[in-house]
Amino acid sequence: MKNSPFVVALSAMLLVPMTSPAWAQDNSVIEAPQEQKSIRNAGIVTPYTLRKPDPVVQDYEPAPAIWLLEDEDTKIYMFGTIHVLPEGFKWRNGVFDRIVGEVDELVVETSDADSDAGMQTFFAELMADADTRTPTSQRLTPESGEKWLKLGQLAGIPQEQFDLTPPLLAMFGAGLEMMEAQGSEHEYGVETVLEAEFAAAGKPIGSIEDSLDVLRSLLAIDEDLLIKELEEDLAAWDGGSIDTLGVEEEESVEPAETIAPFQSEHDWAQGETSDLSDLGFGDSEFGLEVERVLLENRNAKWTVWLENRLDQPGSILLAVGAAHLAGDVSVQSMLSERGLEVKRIQ
């Protein structure tokens, strides 16, 4: 099934830990990620920042999934995370806290310390090259080009920067606005919380990859594939709300107000992993390429890293996006193919 490129972009955001991009702050300054504010907190007024965040209601004790890869002198606890969460969302329990206290080191996709300087340079270079890019609106038909600019307006992103930013990253920005409107923010995400906790305890924090390599691989995907699908998507969009972009009329059977807020987050916090294996990339050429770059290729590299890490005694907590630990191309499946046993312990 072919999915909307905007749906693909939203799916991709579950696999790429990104804070609010530079345009959400001050369009003349590239700020370090930890210094950035959300679009809502930056004071930008949009239909989304005016919307009251959804309430968090939890009538259960959290018990998110945890796996263990081990040998005679090494323990690697594997925990699937959500990068952005609403304030006050409960996802920890005694089992998890015991593991946090026990392990020697936290390993995330890319730590804040490892990503800050590189990401700052990356966005600075991106903005410096903006004048050489053909605006996305000019790569679309006039009607779709106008709707593209409307998308940026609804997201509270300055028009020039939205139009001159690579379109996939621009859609990430619009998607972040949707998440923030719902109430989810980077500062409450699992990795942000854990990094602060391990730093306070004086425990080391490592990275399993370089997030810049991931972003560059994403941007290396043929943009013409995205523009072609984006044209179809925008042509069918009514232009009234970001929520309806990429959603066909027959898909909207259940009124939005009847859908439980944060349902995916609640499922994750209760240890449900089945839905995580279908992120909605679809089977279009663009969607398959994004899935290959963000999921399959990274999982394969992480599998090799984990196998090699077993040669080093000690214990670590590996905290990576939950979708990497679900489905047919999960890290656990790839480890199993290499003859390594991974046990689910919660």
- Structure pTM? 0.85
d(Cα 301, Cα 80) in Å, to the nearest integer?
17
Q: Which of 109, 114, 111 lies closest to 81 in space, CA to CA?
A: 109
What percent of the chain is helix, strand and coil (3-state, nearest 5)? 50, 10, 40
Lowest mean pLDDT among 44-53, 78-87, 100-109, 273-282: 44-53
DSSP assignment string, 217-255: HHHTS-HHHHHHHHHHHHHH--SS-GGGTT--GGG--S-
Would you state the pLDDT for residue 265? Answer: 93
Answer yes or no: is pLDDT of 27 > 60: no
Answer yes or no: is pLDDT of 155 > 50: yes
Residue 125 lies in a domain: yes
What's the structural domain count of the chain?
1
Beta strands 205-207; 105-108: pairing state: parallel
Answer yes or no: is pLDDT of 40 > 70: no
Residue 10 lies in a domain: yes
Q: How many C-beta atoms lie closer than 10 Å to residue 77's C-beta? A: 22
Residue 28 lies in a domain: no
Would you state the pLDDT for residue 91? Answer: 97
* Domain hosting residue 273, numbered range: 5-23+33-54+63-344
Answer yes or no: is pLDDT of 35 > 60: no
Give tens-digit pLDDT for 320-332.
Answer: 999 999 988 999 9
Answer yes or no: is pLDDT of 44 > 60: no
Check: CB of residue 237 under 8 Å from CB of residue 245.
yes
Would you state the pLDDT for residue 34? Answer: 39
Q: Residue 85 forms beta bridges with which residues?
A: 185
Answer yes or no: is pLDDT of 118 > 70: yes
Higher pLDDT, 212 or 129: 212
Q: Which of 267, 266, 273 lies closest to 333 in space, CA to CA?
A: 273
Residue 215 lies in a domain: yes
Answer yes or no: is pLDDT of 207 > 70: yes
Q: Read off the pLDDT of each residue in 163-188 and give the average, rounded to a whole number.
A: 86
Residue 255 lies in a domain: yes
Give tens-digit pLDDT for 213-268.
Answer: 998 999 999 999 999 999 998 999 988 887 777 665 554 444 444 456 888 899 99
Residue 229 lies in a domain: yes
Answer yes or no: is pLDDT of 202 > 80: yes
Residue 291 lies in a domain: yes
